[in-house]
Chains A and B, each alone.
Chain A
Amino acid sequence: MPNRSKRVVVTGMGVLSSIGNSIDEYALNLKNGVSGVAPVTLFDTNGLRVHIACEIKDLPAVNFPYSYRALDMIHISAVQAVKDSKICFKDEDPYRIGSVFGLSQGSIESLKVIFRKIITEKDISGLKPEQLVANTAYGPAKAIASYYDLKGPSLTVSTACSSSLNSVMIASDLIGNGLSEICFTGGAEDLFDIAYYGFHSLRGLAEKKCQPFDKNRSGLLLGEGAGILILEELEHALKRKAMIYAEILGYGNSSDAYHETSPDPSGRGAALAMKAALEDAHLRTDAVEYINAHGTGTQQNDEMETKAIKGAFGENAYEIPVSSTKSMTGHALGAAGIIEIIACILAMRGSFIPPTINYETPDPACDLDYVPNRSRPKTFDISMSNNFAFAGNNSSIIIKKWKTK
């Protein structure tokens, strides 16, 4: 089957999450099974049943051309990733550098300003354009393209909880098809009240802790995060002697065609995405050594995902460690995909399997190896990461550790 003609590698990373504001801190806390959960400080939760979330702690103050929480987060992780990649922009053709980001929303702060003036107060005086800047999902991709003067393809994908995983897949297609040599990709999601109230209304939030795959799991914990990968065409990376973390081997995406918020309980759609990723990577089911699950901690997702992994991997499913790092980071919605890909890369580099924390009671419907509570030392080369989203969007990616010959 004809496919991308170029190989795609990761040469830079930046991350912000509730368990670490740098790659090193994030790696350490993933290994140590640290939880990022704390009482919500960003908005009022009075009157709700739930009052906890995984917020980023001590977000550094920054001074970029425009500012709101999610955009600041994107900028901070981009600075980390660019530094990490050691790209020298003056040696690069800006038309060959793309930017593909995944965000589920625009800035809610900015949206609320418009809402208050237009709908509540019915008074548009004093509504300034700068208050509306980037109140859209596509703002950050354009902000990064502008800041680094990137003139290649610029896309924003918005598919709820699979957004930033999908952004990595689209960016890989651009490089694979020869449309870019370098691509900034990833996403950000800040914790905001509208989403919190929405998940609360769906009775989707855990009251005390997030317990993926546990029999008594009671829902997800909302989190926030940001991550950027610098993706690069292999030959280009080798030529500039870049440090290569990993190779993007393959990926797949599918649609459940089932329900607005609930996954197809049969796991058919999710299995289709995993199978497509295996086929795209030209791998057999026994090649995958770790699966970073979507593992939200809801009854429906975790049982469905277990079925889907069995559907895609058959008997091999029982041999593969599967963990949910959302048990530690919370569910960063649009940013979940990117921070979980980064978790996979860090696990492969650090030779450990991140744990599923808060795992207490086995569920007969979830009978795979979930790496309960403690990380496990293991040297391995190939990871899969899954994300499933509202409207039945399923995505799966396979990444391989880069080994210098």
Chain B
Amino acid sequence: MEDQIVITGIGIVSPIGTGTEAFLESLKTGKSGVDRIKRFDPSIFGSKKAGEINDFSIADHIPASNARKMDRLTRYSTAAAVMAVKDSGIDMAKTDSGRIGVIFGTAFGNSASLEKFISEINANGPQLANPFIFPSLSMNISAGTIAKELSLNGVNYTLSSEVTSGGMAIFYAVQLLKNKKADYIICGGADELSLLVFGGVHAKGELAYEDQTVSEDSRPFDQYRNGYICAEGACLLLLERLEDAKKRGANIYAKISGISTGSFGNGTSAEEVIRRSAGQALQESGLSSSDIDFICSSANSSRICDKLEIDSLRSAMGTDAKDIPVSALKSMTGETFGASYPLNICAAMLCIRDRFIFPTINYTSPDPLCRLNLTTKYAEDAIINNSLICSFSLDSHTRWGNCVSILIGKV
């Protein structure tokens, strides 16, 4: 019998709150984390808003002196990891450090440090390149720093695949736990808002903007959605095998009952690949589509992707799909890239635990092409046993992408 993998710890740094309590409060009240950008002057861009984190202090999570060399993204990630471990209740002193791993996902890495490193070279010349910033240019600096902060000698990988980065990290962590390559894995992901990232995605024409009809906002599934809101965050989960969690009397949020991934090289095969991945996750779980009580949607207010997600899931789940309640977290947080997948899982787990469905905010004009049972405006009471989370990246220019589907359920 294959091992069952469960989630026993949560660490959140997000535009709608740092820490599970603040995040949960925002979910229940439908709070928006989106506002005009404060970190840099957005005036040269057509889009001016982002999901920024402005209430975060690393000293709330680790001794401030440990954070001297950490840049912003590394601080977000380290704080999230520390919170996840604390939440899990693992006694680190009694655990073999070689059996605790970190699988981290990030789309763009530490882009603010990269920006600073290049700016200094441009200003001062290459011979004065800054050796104190250079280490933060490695995409694995967050995962390595988490290991250092928590003294973890186990497996340590950093994966990158745009918005599915955090989902791929969870996918691979599950493989490693099943192969017994580690006993505990801290996994998930993070990304930060920087001028470089914002400018890059803006140039690709993917961001929401204000027009004659609507304000610049994240409005998944709305008829007038015109792009996503660039955001930042870190979210890490603690994964372990069910029997270990039971043995140590852990508080279990949910089990991962099915997980599947696939990739596509052009827009036309995307729907087929996503449908298969969702179908496989369902098959692995041994459930039927009528057992799924909630789709915690990854829709980010993209014209194409919101509809593609619903169409793919509908074809994977057959006639049951139209009745399953759906809600989109990114209506509140914006697109947090590496953090987005694990944040979706956290939202779904909290809905399972506290028996509610959070609302999709900013939804005012239903899109006749996206017909679904969407929870809007206010949170609703609901008993959820199984929730499906399916996320995919689809590059707006190359049409390259991949997808991950995860089914979580009550233990």
A contact set with B: CB distance below 8 Å = 1-4, 44-45, 47-48, 65-66, 95, 99, 104-105, 111-112, 114-115, 117-120, 122-124, 127-138, 141-143, 145-147, 149-160, 166, 170, 173-174, 176-177, 179, 193-194, 196-203, 253-261, 268-269, 272, 389-393
Contacts and interface: CB of A to CB of B under 8 A. Distances in A.
B317 interface: no
B144 A153 contact: no
B8 interface: no
Contacts of A141: 161
A391 B135 contact: yes
Contact of B263 (A153, A159, A173): A153
B205 A138 contact: no
20 contacts: A3-B179, A48-B126, A65-B398, A112-B118, A130-B397, A131-B203, A142-B263, A142-B401, A146-B398, A152-B263, A153-B171, A157-B158, A158-B109, A160-B139, A173-B176, A194-B118, A194-B137, A253-B156, A390-B144, A392-B156
Contacts of B202: 124
B400 A145 contact: yes
Nearest to B280: A95
Contacts of B152: 255, 257
A253 B155 contact: yes
Interface stretch (B30-38, B264-272, B300-308): B264-272
B215 interface: no
A256 B155 CA distance: 10
Residue with the highest number of chain A CB atoms closer than 10 Å, among B157, B168, B262: B157
A115 B115 contact: yes
A326 B385 CA distance: 54
A257 B400 contact: no
B395 interface: yes
Given A143-B398, A173-B176, 5 more contacts: A150-B263, A155-B161, A158-B138, A198-B131, A260-B136
User: What is the interface residue range for chain B against chain A?
Assistant: 35 or more
Q: Is the interface of A mostly helix, strand, loop or mixed?
A: mixed
Contact of A145 (B138, B140, B175, B263): B263
Nearest to A159: B140
A176 B130 CA distance: 43
Interface string B382-411: 000000000000011111111000000000
Contacts of B399: 146
B98 A272 contact: yes
B175 to A, nearest CB: 5
A112 B126 CA distance: 15
Interface string B241-273: 000000000000000000001111110010001
B140 A390 contact: yes
A344 B111 CA distance: 36
A259 B134 CA distance: 13
B179 A133 contact: no
Interface in B152-193: 152-162, 165, 168, 171-172, 175-176, 178-180
Contacts of B148: 256-259, 392
Given A138-B162, A177-B178, A255-B154, A202 B107 contact: no
B3 to A, nearest CB: 8
A391 B175 contact: no
A198 B157 CA distance: 22
B117 interface: yes
A119 B115 contact: yes
Given A155-B172, A156-B161, A198-B117, A255 B144 contact: yes
Given A132-B203, A170-B157, A115 B263 contact: no
A112 B199 CA distance: 12
Contacts of A268: 153
A269 B151 CA distance: 11
Contacts of A156: 159-161
The 3 closest A-B pairs by CB, nearest first: A391-B144, A146-B265, A154-B263
B175 A177 contact: yes
B259 to A, nearest CB: 10
B264 to A, nearest CB: 6
Contact of B141 (A118, A124, A196, A390): A390
B57 to A, nearest CB: 22
B200 interface: yes
Contacts of B162: 136, 138
A114 B200 CA distance: 7
A154 B95 CA distance: 33
A132 to B, nearest CB: 6
A137 B160 contact: yes
B225 interface: no
A158 B139 contact: yes
B122 interface: yes
Contacts of B156: 159, 253-255, 391-393
Contacts of A146: 264-266, 398-400
A149 B178 CA distance: 29
B143 A124 contact: no
B44 interface: yes
B276 interface: yes
Contacts of B119: 119
A47 B126 contact: yes
Nearest to A199: B134
Contact of A158 (B115, B140, B265, B402): B140
A389 B152 CA distance: 16
Interface string B45-71: 100000000000000000000000100
B398 A392 contact: no
B87 to A, nearest CB: 21
B369 interface: no
B97 interface: yes
B179 A177 contact: yes
A143 B161 CA distance: 12
A154 B161 contact: yes
A202 B134 contact: yes
B285 interface: no
B189 to A, nearest CB: 12
A339 to B, nearest CB: 19
A200 B138 contact: no
A176 B135 CA distance: 34
